[in-house]
Structure 1
Amino acid sequence: MLNFDKDRFVNIQRGAVAIAEDVRVLMRKLLDDGLERVFFMGTGGVQFLTQPAIELARASTVFPVSAAFPAQVILEAPAGLDERALVILPSLSGTTKESVQLLSFLKERGVKTLSLTGHKNTPLGLDADYNFTNFAEDDTSSESFYLQTLLIVLSLLVERGEYTDFDKTVAELKQLPELLVSVKENYEARAATLAKEIKDENYHIFTGAGSVWPQAHYYGMCILEEMQWIRTRPVHASDFFHGTLELVEPGVSLFIFKGEDACRPLADRVENFAKRYTDKVRVLDAASAQLPGVSDKTRKLISPLILATMLERLSAHLEVLRDHPLTTRRYYKRVEY
């Protein structure tokens, strides 16, 4: 496979799943100490990667689990941001400026903090109350953060008596690192073809629903816009028929992401409509992945992770065909905080 290090990928994803037992112990301790609410506060694209876990909590428990933007929290803190709250701070670098500023703000308020970082010897890696560090890089971080945040919410649910198959689910998740390599291998030819199809296109609509909507938003904004300077329009499939449908015409590129959860019919509805009006409907379906030994229940939890691992192959080919490395930026170093 093009520009792919199998051993590095497998080791990183194994590291993500390896927090399962420790995070469950931590969650039990926090609940016993009076934890009453959880916030996920990531800066930029990494916050999208926490959203499937937040949605799982929304559908599974009345325990408050929500999200907030770090830069906005400092200016206007949400209610309940106190000593009975836990804020989870994901940051690959561990040095994200807005998140580092937020950490200081939270400490002043006595809020408990848990950081998820790719590097330990960093402000977020060292100064949060609790930390899980799992080395990763841009091409492997999506799966890593999806897995870690999923395990955090599953730990909350099982310790509240709201999830009964934790050990079975974790055992299946531990099979994923190697299985995801096969997913990449099986998608490689399609990724190469798709990259050739879109390498000169400068606008795409991205849509999805349920657990895969964050991946649609993430890929449009954080990969194609930030890393390839290609214009995109991410729109939730529920909103597609309230505006964006009027932009569909011959030649318009539409990416539809499909998961295996209850919201899949929303993506089907968009597909059924769009194929009548544009010849450029590109469907990525988590159900197409072969994952022997993984139950339907677990598959429903990992649809965004499957799509992320497929899309990494598209990105690998796209940056070569466009002669635009994914690390190239125009303004990143110039932004003032």
Structure 2
Amino acid sequence: MELRQIITEIKTKQPEIKSVFFVGCGASKAELYPAKYFLEGNAKELRTSLYTANEFNYATPVSVDSSAIVITCSLGGNTPETVKATSLAKSLGAHVIAVTHTEGAPITKDADYVVLHGFELNYAAKMEKMTKVLALAVEILNQYEGYAYYDKMVDGFGKIYDLIEKAVSSVVPQAKEFANAYKDAPVIYVMSSGATHEVAYSFSICLMMEMQWINSGSFHDGEFFHGPFEIVEKDVPFLLLMNDGRTRAMDSRALDFLHRFDAKTTVVDAKDFGLGSEIAKEVVDYFNPMLISGVLRVYAEQLSIVRNHPLTKRRYMWKLEY
């Protein structure tokens, strides 16, 4: 079912929605963040929350009822905590949308609606999950409250996949440089701001800690000067994700400090890939995460090659009971 149609159908059944919950684990949770960020910044009445699935299961918000939309997300559709959260939300009367790559997966069993996304085809396909959830959030806001820049968001959705593919086609040399420079780093710190905040988080916990077994930490660069900057000194490894949009000043302030003390700094900047020249300035903030995530995938792949450590390698995940 087309995304706009899903929200239209929910509105027909439930003319008043009070809350929107986004629920997932790991990378899937992080990929829900741009949608949550969008609603939080633009909705005047709708409440919005982002939950890791077991938090949702063990400490379920009392507002999960027929006045809530719950969007759950799992790549394979079989993450036990997220499957349980989907069923729980349904049992409480919420309007449940499950987002997954796998048709007929367990997460779809108790969902009212299912949104399928790509993954294998190309780098843009890997960003479909994040993009489609953001599109759902835009539809929710526009249909329930109205959104002045709706058409500009729709235009952006029509351009972002080509922008991602264009960006990744040119970034391999920079990614190889990053890989060679950071392959022996004992730790890599990752930071960003705005809608890209949890891209830094997911790169840290998933691509570095899970897939490369590299110690890593992430933080919002607005928080950088309220604690984390004390560990900055010459050659400490940082990866800074710079946004095109309203929060760029925070990214720039962090970069200036890293350069001031000669930290080992790599920057992935959305402006380098022409995001703002294609996407309207009123909505460009919300498209940074997809573009930067696509580029970062190439960085992680090149790092895995020079370290001879495939991104698919695990020692605990899917290997034992936990």
Q: Name the TM-score, length of structure 2 as normaliser.
A: 0.92
RMSD between aligned residues: 2.0
Match of residue 107, structure 1, among 70, 90, 100:
90
Provide the C-alpha distance between the structure 2 equivalents of 1:336 and 1:86, rounded to a whole number of angstroms: 32
Greater displacement, 134-143 / 256-265: 134-143
Residue in structure 2 matched with residue 233 of structure 1 by the alignment: 217
Percent identical pairs in the alignment equals 25
Residue in structure 2 matched with residue 30 of structure 1 by the alignment: 10
Residue in structure 1 matched with residue 292 of structure 2 by the alignment: 307
Q: Deviations over 1:128-176 (max 9, x none)?
A: 1110112324966651122111101111122134323434432342233
Does the 8 Å CA contact 1:49/1:142 hold for their aligned counterparts? no
Greater displacement, 83-92 / 22-31: 22-31
Q: Deviations over 1:200-229 (max 9, x none)?
A: 112111111111111111111110110000
Provide the C-alpha distance between the structure 2 equivalents of 1:318 and 1:105, rounded to a whole number of angstroms: 40
Cα pair distance change 1:223/1:272, threshold 3 Å: same
Secondary structure of 2:24's partner?
Answer: coil
Greater displacement, 139-148 / 88-97: 139-148
Matches within 5 A, 1:182-261: 182-261=166-245
Residue in structure 2 matched with residue 289 of structure 1 by the alignment: 273
Provide the C-alpha distance between the structure 1 equivalents of 2:165 and 2:150, rounded to a whole number of angstroms: 24
Matches within 5 A, 1:1-337: 22-32=2-12, 33=14, 34-62=16-44, 63-137=46-120, 142-291=126-275, 293-334=278-319, 336=321
Cα pair distance change 1:142/1:247, threshold 3 Å: farther
Letter in 1 for 2:30: F
Secondary structure of 2:72's partner?
Answer: strand
Secondary structure of 1:234's partner?
Answer: strand
Provide the C-alpha distance between the structure 2 equivalents of 1:107 and 1:308, rounded to a whole number of angstroms: 31
Unaligned runs of 5+ in 2: none
How far has the Cα of 1:336 moved from its partner? 3.8
Unaligned runs of 5+ in 1: 1-18
Q: Name the TM-score, length of structure 1 as normaliser.
A: 0.88
Provide the C-alpha distance between the structure 2 equivalents of 1:175 and 1:107, rounded to a whole number of angstroms: 34
Letter in 1 for 2:99: L
Q: Deviations over 1:46-83 (max 9, x none)?
A: 11111111111111112112112221222221120112
Q: Deviations over 1:24-59 (max 9, x none)?
A: 222133234233211000112211111111111111
Residue in structure 2 matched with residue 12 of structure 1 by the alignment: none
Provide the C-alpha distance between the structure 2 equivalents of 1:174 and 1:293, rounded to a whole number of angstroms: 10
Provide the C-alpha distance between the structure 1 equivalents of 2:6 and 2:87, rounded to a whole number of angstroms: 22
Provide the C-alpha distance between the structure 2 equivalents of 1:249 and 1:196, rounded to a whole number of angstroms: 20
Does the 8 Å CA contact 1:119/1:125 hold for their aligned counterparts? no
Greater displacement, 181-190 / 163-172: 163-172
Cα pair distance change 1:303/1:296, threshold 3 Å: same
Secondary structure of 2:49's partner?
Answer: strand
Provide the C-alpha distance between the structure 2 equivalents of 1:43 and 1:159, rounded to a whole number of angstroms: 28
Cα pair distance change 1:275/1:122, threshold 3 Å: same
Cα pair distance change 1:141/1:49, threshold 3 Å: farther
Does the 8 Å CA contact 2:54/2:81 hold for their aligned counterparts? yes
Provide the C-alpha distance between the structure 1 equivalents of 2:156 and 2:289, rounded to a whole number of angstroms: 16
Q: How many residues are treated as equivalent by the alignment? A: 317
Does the 8 Å CA contact 1:120/1:126 hold for their aligned counterparts? no
How far has the Cα of 1:252 moved from its partner? 0.3
Cα pair distance change 1:290/1:140, threshold 3 Å: closer
How far has the Cα of 1:286 moved from its partner? 0.8
